[in-house]
A and B are shown apart, each in its own frame.
Chain A
Amino acid sequence: MLIFKIAWRNILRHKGKSFIIGGILFLGAFLMVLGNATSNGMNRGIEENMVKSFTGHILLISDKEEDKKFLFPMLPKPMKIIQDYDRIQTILKQQDYIKDFLPMTRGGLAILGEAQMSFLMTYGCNFDDFQRVFGSPYEAVEGDLLKNGDKGILINSNGRKKQHVFQGFWLVPEGRDVVEANLSDEAKKEYPDLAIRRELNVGAFGESNASDDTVPVRAIVKFKSLNGLMEDISIIDIETYRKLFGYFTAEDIAEEVPVAQQKLLAAGEDDLFGSGDIFATGATTSVAELEKTIKTKTVIKRVINYDDAAFNYISLVLNPGESIDGAMAKIENLIEAEGLQLQAVSWRTASGQIADLSDVASGIINVFVFLLFIVAIIIIANTLSMTAMERTEEFGMMRAVGARKGFIAKMFLSETFFLSFIFGGIGLFAGVIVTWIIRPIGIGAGGIDFIELVFGGETFRPMLGFAGLVNGIINLLFVTIFAVIYPLLVARKITPLDAINRQ
Chain B
Amino acid sequence: MNVIELEKVEKDYPLGATTVHAVRGVDLAIKEGDFISIVGPSGSGKTTLLNIIGCIDHATGGAVRIHGEDVTTYSDKKLTDLRLHTIGFIFQTFNLIPVLTTLENVEFPLLLMKKANLSKKEIRDRAVKLLEEVGLNDQMNQRPFELSGGQRQRVAIARALVTKPAIVLADEPTANLDSDTGEKILTLMKELNVIEKTTFIFSTHDPDILKYANGVVKIKDGLRVS
Chain A contacts to B: CB under 8 angstroms = 2, 5-6, 9-10, 13, 393-394, 397-405, 407, 495-497, 499-500, 503
Contact = CB atoms under 8 A, between A and B. Distances in A.
Given A6-B100, A401-B108, A404-B77, 19 more contacts: A2-B111, A5-B100, A6-B99, A397-B91, A397-B96, A397-B97, A398-B108, A399-B80, A401-B84, A402-B84, A402-B163, A404-B81, A405-B80, A496-B56, A497-B51, A497-B56, A500-B47, A500-B91, A503-B91
A403 B51 contact: no
Contact of B98 (A394, A402, A404, A496): A394
6 contacts: A394-B97, A401-B109, A402-B84, A496-B56, A496-B83, A500-B47
B166 to A, nearest CB: 14
A403 B56 contact: no
A496 B84 CA distance: 13
Contacts of A500: 47, 51, 56, 91, 171
A400 B56 contact: yes
B159 interface: yes
Interface string B88-99: 010111011111
Nearest to A402: B84
Interface-centre pick from A2, A394, A500 (highest chain B CB count, 10 A):
A500
Interface string B125-163: 000000000000000000000000000000000011001
A120 B95 CA distance: 82
Contacts of A2: 108, 111
A402 B56 contact: no
A499 B47 CA distance: 13
Contacts of A394: 97-98
Interface string B108-131: 110111000000000000000000
Given A6-B99, A496-B56, A503 B92 contact: yes
A496 B80 CA distance: 10
A503 B51 CA distance: 14
Given A2-B111, A407-B112, A496-B56, A402 B81 contact: yes
A500 B50 CA distance: 12
B57 interface: yes
The main secondary structure of chain A at its interface with chain B is helix
Interface string B151-193: 0000000011001000000010000000000000000000000
A9 B98 CA distance: 9
A366 B22 CA distance: 58
Which of the listed residues A394, A398, A401 has the most CB atoms from chain B within 10 Å of its own CB? A401
Given A407-B112, A496-B56, A10 B83 contact: no
Contacts of B83: 400-402, 496
A402 B85 contact: yes
A397 to B, nearest CB: 4
Contacts of B208: none
A496 B82 CA distance: 14
A402 B109 contact: yes
A497 B57 CA distance: 6
B91 A402 contact: no
Contacts of B84: 401-402
A398 B97 contact: yes
Contacts of B113: 402
A496 B54 CA distance: 10
Contacts of A9: 99-100
The 6 tightest CB contacts between A and B, nearest first, are: A402-B84, A9-B99, A397-B95, A496-B56, A2-B111, A402-B112
Contacts of A503: 91-93
Contacts of A401: 83-84, 89, 108-109, 112, 159-160
B4 to A, nearest CB: 17
A403 B100 CA distance: 15
A497 B91 CA distance: 12
Nearest to B100: A6
A403 B95 contact: no
Nearest to A398: B97
Contact of B80 (A5, A13, A397, A404): A404
Nearest to A6: B99
A496 B83 CA distance: 11
A472 to B, nearest CB: 31
Contacts of A404: 77, 80-81, 112
A6 B97 contact: yes
Contacts of B95: 393, 397, 400, 499
Contacts of B56: 400, 495-497, 500
B76 to A, nearest CB: 7
Nearest to B169: A400
Contacts of A403: 80, 112
